[in-house]
Amino acid sequence: MLNFDVPRFVKIQSGAVGLAENIDGLIASALDKGAENIFFLGTGGAAILMQPAAHLLARHSRFPVFLDMSAELVLGGSPQLGEHSIVVIPSLSGTTKESIEVAELCKARGALLIALVGHADTPLTKIADHSLVNFAEDDTSCESFYLQSLLVALSVMHHRAEYPAYADTVAQIKRLPGLLVEVKRAFEPQAAAVADHIAASSYHILCGSGATWPQAFYYGMCILEEMQWIRTRPVHASDFFHGTLELVEPGVSIILFKGEDVYRPLTERVENFATSRTDRMLTLDTRVFALTGISEAVRALISPVLLATVLERASAHLEVKRDHPLTTRRYYKRVTY
């Protein structure tokens, strides 16, 4: 596989799923002490990666969940944030300005702060009540943060007797690091073709629904825009027919992310409409990825993880094809803003 270190990837993702017991212990303790809600915060891409977990709780639990933008929460506050709140803040570096500011606000409000970080002894870890450290870098952080936040959501439901399949689900999730390598390996020939599709256009509409929508949003904003300077329009499948459909014509690139949850029909509707109206339709469907021993229910939960893992392969080819390293920036963390 092009520019890919298998042992490094497996170590990082094994570290993520290996946090299951720590996460479960923290959530159990917080609920025992009277926690009344949970906030998933963060900044930029890391915050987007919390969306599937928050969505899972919003749809399947009565435990109040809030997904907020850190910068807005600092300025506007929330009457729901207080001493009975669990706050989860991801930050790969542990130094992101907006995340540090919101962490300080949460601590001042008396909330229990859990930091998901890639590095110990950073500003965020010094503020947090508990820091779960799992080293990762940009090319491996998606799967790591998706998995950690999923474990948080599952633990909340488990201790509220809302998810009886918890033990079996976690056991399956722990098998994913090796399985994801095989998914990458099988996808490698297609990855070059996906990179060709992306490189051939200067503008892409990215679309998803349910658990796949955050990956469409993330890949457009954090990879294609930030790391490749390619213009994108991420749009949720349920919104596609309220404006975006009028942009569809021959030559317009649409990249569709199809998952395996109950929201799949929303992306299928987009696919059915757009396939006959543009010759630049690319569909990534998680159903085609082999995962031995993983149930349909768990596959539905990890759709964004699967998409992230194959898109990393596409990105590795894309930076070579466009002669534009994924680490190249003009402004991000280079100038004051």
What's the pLDDT at 96?
96
What's the pLDDT at 24?
98
CA–CA gap between residue 138 and residue 157 (Å, rounded): 30
Provide the 8-state DSSP code for 133. Answer: E
Q: Where do the H-state alpha helices sit in the chain?
A: 6-17, 20-32, 44-48, 51-60, 70-76, 97-108, 123-127, 141-159, 166-173, 176-199, 213-218, 264-274, 296-301, 303-321
Both tokens assigned to 230: 């390619």
What's the pLDDT at 337?
86
Q: What tens digit of pLDDT does each residue of 9-21 get?
A: 999 999 999 999 9
What's the pLDDT at 33?
98
What's the pLDDT at 213?
98
Domains along the chain with CATH numbers: 6-167 (3.40.50.10490), 176-321 (3.40.50.10490)
CA 332 remoteness from chain centre: 20
pTM of the model: 0.97
Question: Which positions ≥6 away from 183 have C-beta within 8 Å?
Answer: 289, 290, 291, 306, 309, 310
Question: Which positions ≥6 away from 329 have C-beta within 8 Å?
Answer: 226, 227
CA–CA gap between residue 120 and residue 114 (Å, rounded): 13
CA–CA gap between residue 297 and residue 292 (Å, rounded): 13
Angle between helix 20-32 and helix 141-159 axes, rounded to 10 deg: 40
Q: What tens digit of pLDDT does each residue of 224-239 get?
A: 999 999 999 999 999 9
Instruction: Give per-10-residue mean pLDDT for the chain (337 aa).
Output: 97 98 98 98 97 98 98 98 98 96 98 97 97 96 98 98 98 98 98 98 97 98 98 98 98 98 98 97 98 98 98 98 97 90
CA 72 → CA 76, 167, 219, 332, distances in Å?
A: 6, 37, 23, 20
